[in-house]
Amino acid sequence: MAFKIKRSSREPMSEINVTPFVDVMLVLLIIFMVTAPLLTVGVQVDLPESSADSLPEEQEPLTLTINAKGEIFIQESKVDYEKIIAKILAVSKNRTDTRIYVRGDKTINYGRVLEIMGMLSGSGFTKVALISEPYKER
């Protein structure tokens, strides 16, 4: 006695069609692959590595960058050495408690980076920090 199961047209289908899901995921993957490189902003520098923990961020900090050629940038705009403090005061609206991150290329002279950090500290800025790449095991 073989029973034949007859399916009525009102019963829900138990199979899931994943083709539309895969199509949407592939489109999203392509969008993220195209836009991800555009999300990294700033001046290109080769940062040194460090195993120190990241600092928490309450507000967006100012970034002062020194590239391999010794050029100085505040955020993405190039600044002359003599005008660094005036420009940072203008951007921070004269708030000396603004967090300033200093990014120095690893090929630049360490003394140059410290000179700029000293100049910032001497001008009253109390939250000056160095930025580095996370340490990678080799």
pLDDT in tens, 12-67: 767 788 888 899 999 999 888 887 766 655 666 666 666 666 655 556 778 888 88
Ordered domains of the chain (ranges, CATH): 49-134 (3.30.420.270)
Question: What DSSP assignment string belongs to the chain?
Answer: -PPPPPPPTTSPP-----HHHHHHHHHHHHHHHHHHHHH--S----PPEE-PPPPP-SSPPEEEEE-TT--EEETTEEE-GGGHHHHHHHHTTT-TT--EEEEE-TTS-HHHHHHHHHHHHHTT---EEE--EEP---
pLDDT in tens, 60-109: 778 888 888 888 888 888 888 888 888 888 888 877 778 888 888 888 88
Tokens 């203008």 map to which residue?
90
User: Crossing angle for the helix pair 84-91 and 110-122, nearest 10 degrees?
Assistant: 60
CB under 8 Å to 5, separation ≥6 — which residues?
none
pTM of the model: 0.55
CB under 8 Å to 86, separation ≥6 — which residues?
none
